[in-house]
Amino acid sequence: MIESEVPIHIPIMLCEVAQFLNLQRGGNFLDCTFGGGGHSRYFLENYPNITLFAIDRDPEVVVHAEKLRAEFGNRFQFFTRLFSEIDRIPLPLLQGIFFDFGVSSFQLDGETRGFSFRYHMPLDMRMNPQNGIAVDEFLATADRDQLIEAIRDFGEERHWRKVIDLILAKRGSEIIKYADTFAEYIAENLPKNFHEKIHPATRTFQGLRIAVNGELEEIRNALPKAFEQLDHDGRLVTLSFHSLEDRIVKQFFNEKAGKAINCHEKWNDRSTVARILTKKPITPTATEKINNHRSRSTKLRALEKF
């Protein structure tokens, strides 16, 4: 792939996120998923009365953080942390906290981490390559139940049985050690669906990435900690990219807003400590979806603490 074909990182729903965070009020805010720093830069450039803290588990994003630190000085501070470790960071009470779940564009487009099946690179997909096990090791050692959880539950792959059989058939071979060969192997052996707009390996890659990074558990652990860090009238804003992330956020918001989160609860079973600002999730405009294909599945939800 030539350089001009590599997708450019475009932060998603910048104006909408800033509006729901209520950045114009000024104060202290936290970007829990710094990534390439696109949202953080926009916040700092357009809202001079804020101080922004940012965290990310990926040590490679430090270079982006250093640029913002040099440009904005004490208005910006960065910590290399999991976002579930918010309670371990010396933070003031915050007026707003932002989560942009999933994997960042610079990780997806990188040629060394194995997130993309465009490149012949080892299947790693760890958001922090210094911790945990890589996907190629997971594929070599996981039992069937672990593979079912990753492919069926996390990847939501309808042909999960076939994919697992393919993995077990080639376990130990070079084919499933590299991103491009593994993706090609899946594509060649799954039933053809000419109405499907995504690559046949997309859901499998998603499930494996979620599994090795513990992404859903991270969200479940981080949301209550983030809520506790909010000041009164502070806001929590999230961007989700698939139903598994969005479901966790929706249930957490409903719980804080005093709504029943399952059919066995009544409306008044819970205390109300926040209000939901997004009756339905906000989605990108038609123009943004055209200009940035990665925004198509995005859902924004916002909550305000009492």
Give the pLDDT of the chain (306 residues) as one tens digit per residue. 333 344 456 789 999 999 999 999 999 999 999 988 999 999 999 999 999 999 999 988 899 999 999 999 999 999 999 999 999 999 999 999 999 997 765 555 555 676 777 788 889 999 888 889 999 999 999 999 999 999 999 999 999 999 999 999 999 899 999 999 999 999 999 988 766 778 899 999 999 999 999 999 999 999 999 999 999 999 999 999 999 999 999 999 999 999 876 656 555 556 899 999 999 999 999 998 888 887 888 999 999 999
Provide the residue type at 144 as one letter: R
Write the burial class of residue 260 (CB in 10 Å: 0-12 exposed, 13-18 middle, 19+ buried): middle
Please give the structure tokens belonging to residue 1: 């792939």
Q: Where are the alpha helices (DSSP H) in 59-155?
A: 62-72, 105-109, 135-141, 144-148
pLDDT at 1: 35
**What pLDDT score was predicted for residue 145?**
97
Say what the pLDDT of residue 60 is.
87
Amino acid at 213: N
Neighbour tally for 45: CB within 10 Å:
11
Burial 70-82 (b: 16+ CB within 10 A, else e): eebeebbbbbebb
- What is the side-by-side strand order in the sheet with 27-31? 76-80, 50-56, 27-31, 94-100, 230-240, 299-305, 274-276
Q: Give the model's pLDDT for residue 270.
A: 67
- pLDDT at position 12, please? 92
* AA identity, residue 20: F
Phi, psi of 228 (to 5 degrees): -65, -30
Task: Give the orientation angle of helix 243-256 with respect to helix 215-229, to 10 degrees.
Answer: 30
Q: State residue 160's pLDDT score.
A: 96
Q: Model's pTM, two decimal places?
A: 0.90
Nearest to 135 by CA among 150, 119, 152: 150
Write down the H helix ranges in 230-284: 243-256
Q: For position 6, what pLDDT does the model report?
A: 40
Write down the pLDDT at residue 267: 55
Q: Is residue 105 a contact partner of residue 118, using CB atoms and an 8 Å limit?
A: no
What local confidence, expressed as pLDDT, does residue 130 receive? Answer: 87
Q: How far apart are CA 90 and CA 100, in angstroms?
A: 21
DSSP 53: E
Closest CA to 98 of 58, 66, 54, 57: 54
Residue 192 in tokens: 């053809």
Catalogue all structural domains in the chain, each as residue range(s) with its CATH number: 3-106+215-305 (3.40.50.150), 112-213 (1.10.150.170)
Q: Assess contact for 39 and 61: CB atoms under 8 A.
A: no
Exposure on the CB side of residue 285, measured as CA atoms within 13 A: 7
* Residue 2: predicted pLDDT: 34
List the one residue out of 248, 239, 157, 146 whose CA is nearest residue 198. 157
The confidence score (pLDDT) of residue 45 equals 97
